[in-house]
Structure 1
Amino acid sequence: MISPAKPPRVLSIAGSDSSGGAGIQADIKTITMLGGFAMTAITAITAQNSLGVTGVEALSPEMVGAQIDACVSDIGVDAVKIGMLGSAAIAHVVADRLEALDVPVVFDPVMISTSGSVLADAATVAAFERLMKLAALTTPNVPELAALGGADAMAARGVSYLAKGGDAPGDIVHDRLIRPGQETLAWSAPRIETPHTHGTGCTLSSAIATELGRGISLVPAIENSRAFVRAALQATPGFGAGHGPMGHQAVR
């Protein structure tokens, strides 16, 4: 258990979003607002804003591994969130490091940005297999779940995942938690009508990781994190001409 005097140490392994709405930047805001201590292993640098991604440069796998090693060897880690990876080689380096850690991992299998830009090639998606197996929870949205083979393929893998419904049509958003050998749990809530949804997946996954790192069990961690995301969606500052950022700073 985490000492009440110390915040959970959460390592985000993800890409940088220059506009601050998603990626590492959204993770740091989320972890901090939820009382955690945020650390990062940046996998790629992107040039992006609310209108889309205009450039991506992945870091070397060696540098990503070095960042993880630096955090683990000194500060220590209570939970890990994985987001955009940048390449299959990076995915394997991350898996190598995390297989040696005994902490909860939340894997957000980022493939396409909110604006529709592709952020993972076929080889990188194939490398996701190792990460899904070691994760306490994988959090695909509708198109990501389809790209991973759908519910049947996830069942065959025997992994726990939260099927997010924000991308599905309708006035009600349905999220489903599927765990091997356990009853499916579902949450439903009215859709919050706003174009400013950039970083919702990053925010949800890093929030769940923070809660797990604090010692909270999976179901209440998901419930608390869904509430945080909804509050941030209701407090968007209205920045950008496209899919703008959420209002992390307004959530108390």
Structure 2
Amino acid sequence: MPWPDFSELSFGYGFLREFERLHTAGGSFPAAPDFISQAVEATKGYDVKVLKNSTPVYFQFKRSFVLTTANAGEIKKGDFNSTPLFRMHLRERDSYRQHKALQQLETSGEAVFYVTSQIESADDLSRCYTNGNVLSTATAVIAPNEIVLPNTTKKHHVTFKADGNTFRLYSEEGEGFERKVPNWQRLLAVLSNRRRSTPNNRDAIERTVQLLSSRSHSATEVADRFKDPVVRASVLAFLVLDAQLIFFKS
């Protein structure tokens, strides 16, 4: 039962490149927290075309463990009848602090998703990248509030089949849930329906900055180096949630 032979960084990079090319204003992101500079901030204001008729969305990347044998517990229990299966582990640190923060941001009204892999190997990822179907084939998407933890003291993971309509949350026994976004086409529809005007996006970004600032003093100190709220929100999402802020345009 191996981890796939590609890194989370490679998966996230392939996803972001394709998303940027297909679904952002002008084919490029407004800001990236790991590359941002004062010079860039000085030339890009957050009132530009990025906010107009777009959807702010927060993606948290994960690499899914691949189950390929009938010895997998999920198969033995009869919860699934075939492989491959994909197992997304949730971060346990500080009583699932990251998961709770993602849920809180989603509850505030924002679009927030775990983005995890549903392919088996680096060869699969390379083929998807070359063929331009990382989003549609290599990617599974689950909203944080779909994953209701029974406790914060034990290990939990989510198991699913590629493009399946359900997933199961495992603690001791598996509990099934229907997926709200079982495929990429459904996510595109969800995001398209959430598009906002520039003023509404501006207000949403400001609220997100306030919310995430309250969760980490050290992250806020870094974000406060910048004046542009989009940049600040992007930095806070990266440091507090380990997530990427992206503006979707269909």
Indicate whether the TM-score tops 0.5: no
Which structure is higher in RCO with an 8 Å CA cutoff and minimum separation 6?
2
TM-score normalised according to structure 2 size: 0.30
Q: Give the TM-score normalised by structure 1.
A: 0.30
